[in-house]
Structure 1
Amino acid sequence: MPETPGGKPSVLFVCVHNAGRSQMAAAWLTHLAGDRVEVRSAGSAPGDAVNPAAVEAMKEVGVDISAETPKVLTVEAVQASDVCITMGCGDACPVFPGKRYLDWKLDDPAGQGVEAVRPIRDEIKVLVEGLIAEIAPR
């Protein structure tokens, strides 16, 4: 797997609004892998703010994403990432040779309460743990 200049693999999580799934995935990867992985998230049509139910669901497991803001997906972000993961939201990354592309089929937490977001949060954690085992094992 190609690595960033610092020797770390880099991952980009992409979702349309960059307000729920991609933010939770980025937070889990940062929380679980620490500085072993470079983490980015973005969206093709970023929302105004991170989904409050996603913020609450992550807070329940000790991960604070309240200061995060949705960011726009750029070609540069894709070029700078080794792995680009879309979140089952119909978004597509610009395709470049040598990158790995994955699509994680996840329910959309938009407009849902925290009860509906918890299982999505937990499913993302399992997927992120598998990703870490593959790209940045201890």
Structure 2
Amino acid sequence: MKIDVLFVCVHNSGRSKMAEYIFNFLAKEYNKPFYAYSAGTEPSEKVNKRVVNIMNKKGYDFLFVKPRKLTDELIIRADNVITMGCGIDSKSCPSIYGKKIIDWGLDDPYDMTENQIEELYSEIYKLVDQLLSKMK
């Protein structure tokens, strides 16, 4: 399977998961033939509970979503790689070679309140929408 966009962070339990689901939802809404995936270098056992709550409130089915491990195969299959905050947390950022990488500089929602995660969701939604509008 081809991956048009691979969203990457360390734990794949917040930012990259939200971006993946928002991207795939909007691509379908806009009738664009693109697909996103997400993964983390050190995936958590489960997705952040507050992220699950927010995403469920927004209409995404996040009940059984699980973090995934970043693999070389995923990187090879991806046309575009977007990291979620390497400018902020570079010491634990993934090293990805041979791909052009864009970093969105988003804070990790680990310690955020649900209100802060709502704001993060809005920011990710806007970034994904802008990305999709540029993709042909």
TM-score by length of 1: 0.85
Task: Tell me how many residue pairs correspond in the alignment.
Answer: 127
**1:12 and 2:1 aligned:** no
Matched, 1:65 2:69: no
Whether 1:135 and 2:105 are equivalent positions in the alignment is no
Normalized per residue, the structure richer in helix is 2
Partner residue, 1:39 = 36
TM-score of the pair, normalised by structure 2: 0.86
Between the aligned partners of 2:8 and 2:71, the Cα distance in structure 1 is 10
Contact 2:10 2:94 in 1 (8 A): no
Identity of aligned residues (%): 36
Structure 2 residue runs of 5 or longer lacking an equivalent are none
Give the drift of 1:56: 1.1
Mean CA deviation greater in 104-113 or 22-31 = 104-113
Residue by residue, what CA displacement relative to the aligned partner does 1:40-95 show, whole Å, maximum 9, x if unpaired? 10001000101111111112221222221101111110110000000004323421
- Structure 1 runs, 4 residues or longer, greater than 4 Å off: none
Give the corresponding residue for 1:119.
119
CA–CA separation in structure 1 for the residues paired with 2:74 and 2:65: 17
Aligned-pair Cα RMSD in Å: 1.5
**Structure 1 unpaired stretches of 5+:** none
